[in-house]
Each structure stands twice: as C-alpha cells, then as structure tokens.
Structure 1
Amino acid sequence: MPLVTAKRTGLVDQVIAQIRELVTSGEWPLGEKIPPEAELVAALGVGRNTVREAVRALSHAGLLEVRQGDGTFVRATNEISGAVRKLCGPELRQILEVRRALEVEGARLAARARTEEELRQMSDCLAERDTAVRNRDSEAVITTDTEFHRVLVAASHNPVLISLYDGIREAVTSSVATTFNPEIPPEQHVSHTALLTAVRDGDPRRAAEEAGGFLDELLAQMGTESLSAKPSTPE
C-alpha cells in the first residue's frame, strides 16, 4: 500500500501544546478538574471538535482523564508519568516494582558517583524525615522521603535513569503516601540510614541491597514473592 501525505492538524497541535504547558507548569494542578469544554472553546477561540481532539490526545497520553458525567481531570504532569499510571493503574505492587528497578540501580551507581554535596542533601532529607516520623507528620514524611530518593537517583549521574525516575515521581510520591502509616511507632518505620551509609562508603553492592531490601519487604507484605536484592552485574 503506497504512503500518502499526512494531514496536518495545526489548530489541534496548538491547543495540545497550550494545554500541555498548563499541565506541566502546574497552572492546572495534578488531580484538579480542568475548565469545561465551552470555556476552553471561548478562551482558545477554536471549535468544539478541535478542543475535543486535543483533550482526547492528551487523555491517550495519560496527562488527562475524562470522567463521564464529571468532567476532565489532570492525571499526570508528563507523558512518562502518564504512561506509568496507565500501565500500573492503581496497583501499588506494580508501582513498587518499577521503583525497585530504578532505585536499586540508582543506588548502585550513586555509591560510585555521588558528590559530597549530594551526600549532604541526602543526609538533610533523612534528618528531616526522621523528625517528621517522630512527629507523625505524614505530609512532611512523604515530601522528605520522596526527595531523598530523588537525590539518591540524581547522584547516579546517569541522565537517562534520572529522566525516567523524574517521569514517575508522582507515582513514587503516591506509593510513599500509601505505605506510610502514622499509627506505627517511630522505631518501627523503615530507616534509610544504612542505605545512605553504603552510598557514603562507596559500596555499590551494599547500596543496591539496601535500596531493594525495604521495597522487597513491602512487596512481601502484599503477598508478592520477594525479589533478589543483589545487582545483576558483578562489581
């Protein structure tokens, strides 16, 4: 079958770009409902079909979620996060498995490549996290725990790995929020001190084991077979 010239939908592309910018910039916050179709039509100066095509495209990309009878909501702030959410859905187990794959390798590489400034940032995050745990401050725990893992992966200095992890940050935050129980005594909460120590000591194998260990425990608690915490490549 011969190829034919593709039709360019300039207006649709422009509307997609504008809506994507509103989402990624936070102008339309995650989880919030976007303006109704009639309001978008008036504000953008385009037809209803153009708006519908743009919303449909961004819904397929995972950035928006159309709820029949309720409106359209921001589902993710970038396509990678949207894809992860579509693939994993609400399944915490799948999100934890994706986290594990990225964080174990991130920790292994960070043990070799981390800087003193990154070590300081991770140490500060853990200190703030531990204080939040003792105070049963769920919001602060979620924020500092998520930031610790972000800095850990950033310390790998692998731009592809960092980009992938940034793409699932919303899913990471969601998983931290889901697994943190403020009713548990502070001393029973997971500690990342041993992980930070392994990274500080420049021990890739131990860092990988520590990074995978607590996620394995969460997966095991969910009835999931525990994965090997050892890196797949020799040190």
Structure 2
Amino acid sequence: MAETARLRQGPVVPRVESALRAMLAERRWRPGERLPNEVALAAELGVGRSSVREAVRLLAHDGLLEVRHGSGTYAARTPAPDAEGGIRRLLRRARLREVYEVRRALEVEAARLAAGRVRPEDIGRLRDDLTRRQERAGGDPAAFVDADLAFHRTVVELSGNAVLLGLFTSVLPVLREALVEMVRYEAALPDVSDAHAGLLDALARGDADAAIAATVSHLGAVMELIEKEVAAP
C-alpha cells in the first residue's frame, strides 16, 4: 500500500497512527469490528509491534479504537475525513508552544537569580544532575525527560525564590507530558547539550548574563522548532 512506503520516512509511530486513522476513515473496519492483531498489522505496515501498540494507544485515547484486554482491538468510531488528525496535531503543537513560553519566562529569571546565589556545593549537585541527563540522552524518552527536568528544577530551586519554584513546580506535569511526547516522536530535535553545559559553567562563575544567554539558547532552539511546526500546513 502507498501509505506503507511513507511510513519509512520520519518518526514511525505518528505515521503508523496516520495510516490506521486513514484505514478507519475509509471504513476498512466498521465500528464494533475487530482489527487484526498486532503481529498482522505490523507485518502489513512494515514496522515493529511496539510501534503498532503505541499508535493503537493514541487512537484509543482519541476514542477511535477500543482495546478490550483478552479480546482484541475494535473500531469504536469513524474519524472525520481529513481534518481530525491534522487538527489534533495542531493543538498538540500549539499547546507545547504555550508551555514553552511559560517555561522560558520562569527559567530565564531563575538562571539570573541563581547565578548570584549559588554556592560551591550547589555546583556539584548541578553537575551530578547534568551527568544523569547526558547519560539518559538517546534512551527511554520518559527517563531522559525526568533527568532533564530534574536539572532545571535544581536551577530554579537555587534561585532562592520560593514563589518562582512554586510556579515552576505547578507546570511540571504539563511540561513533562509535552516533552515526553516531543522526545518520543520528533526526529529533528536540536542537540542542546552544549547550552546545558554552558549554563552550568555560567552558574559556577556567577555570571548572570551568561546564565541567561545559555537558558535562552537551549529553550530558543526548541521553541524555533515548535514555531515551525505550528506554522506548517
């Protein structure tokens, strides 16, 4: 099938999701009808079973599929032609942009304050956090995001501003969810390891301007990618 060839380009799971969504829209399986099992779908689409499983999970979350444990996966409803998938992806991207706008506002100020308040013993803690982040890069998306956010939360904590820390902590669940999704599915994520190392170095030197610049650099690189995706048709 033509869609199978397209599955080989770009992140696999979103393309499996798109292929299954198209099949549902074409009423290949009517509501209440059971889909082939993971093995059969993976073979047809030329992907691994884990990719099919994750795509099914996403479609079940949207109410298009129903997973009945011990029985199989069933079509729940037919998606609206063409528009539904694109609208959902656009909402995801727009939501992520809003989260990053809030994140930038909080972390830039946190970096500025932390540069003037950090103690020598705090640098060792930050270095350990950064090492854990780097060790998890390229591995499990959730583990990497947790390590990344632990590093940034430490920076916010070292700002010495309890209100700022409270605000950052309140947005962490939304931020984590969005970041895990982005790391899992986005193939073109920029490498911001150098900016993280630059932030640590700036804090160790007590250089507020450099700490701000490093924070803007690593968040700005990701925001630029997000902006392009939101603007894309």
Q: TM-score category by the smaller chain?
A: 0.5 to 0.7
Q: Contact 1:107–1:211 (CA<8 Å) still a contact in 2?
A: yes
Is the CA contact 1:100–1:215 (under 8 Å) kept in the aligned structure 2?
Answer: yes
1:179 to partner: Cα distance: 3.1
Mapped to 2, the partners of 1:222 and 1:138 lie a distance apart of 18
3-state DSSP of counterpart to 2:206 = coil
> What secondary structure, in the 3-state scheme, does the structure 2 residue paired with 1:126 have?
helix
The 3 A distance-change label for structure 1 pair 107 and 215 is same
The answer to whether the 8 A contact 1:108-1:204 is kept is yes
Give aligned-pair identity as a percent: 32
Residue identity opposite 1:146 in structure 2: L
Q: For residue 90 of structure 1, report the CA deviation from its aligned partner.
A: 6.8
Partner of 1:198: 202
Match of 1:104 among 101, 108, 115: 108
What is the alpha-carbon distance in structure 1 between the residues aligned to residue 178 and residue 111 of structure 2?
Answer: 19
Separation in structure 1 between the aligned mates of residue 172 and residue 201 of structure 2, nearest angstrom = 24
Q: CA deviation at 1:102?
A: 0.2
What residue number does 2:127 align with? 123
Which position in structure 1 is the counterpart of 2:182? 179
**What is the aligned-residue RMSD (CA, Å)?**
2.9
* CA apart distance, 1:166: 1.3
Task: Classify 1:181/1:89 alpha carbon distance in 2 versus 1 (closer, same or farther; 3 Å).
Answer: closer
C-alpha spacing 1:170/1:132, structure 2 compared with 1 (3 Å): same
Q: Is 2:215 the counterpart of 1:211?
A: yes
Q: Which runs of 5+ in 1 are unaligned?
A: 1-87, 225-235
Distance apart, 1:174 and its partner CA: 2.2
Q: How many pairs align?
A: 137
Partner residue, 1:154: 157
2: distance between equivalents of 1:137 and 1:182?
12
After superposition, give the CA deviation of every residue in 1:21-44 in whole Å (9 maximum; x if it has no partner): xxxxxxxxxxxxxxxxxxxxxxxx
Between 124-133 and 92-101, report the one with greater CA deviation: 124-133
Given that 2:93 and 2:226 are in contact with CA atoms closer than 8 Å, whether structure 1 keeps it comes out as no
TM-score (norm 1): 0.52
Q: How many angstroms does 1:145 deviate by?
A: 0.3
Residue pair 1:133, 1:182 contacting (<8 A) in 2 also:
no
Question: Alpha carbons of 1:131 and 1:177: their partners in 2 closer, same or farther (altered >3 Å)?
Answer: same
Select the structure that is richer in helix. 2
Where 1:156 maps in the other structure, the secondary structure is: coil
1:89 deviates by 10
Q: Which ranges of 4 or more aligned residues in structure 1 deviate by more than 4 Å?
A: 181-186
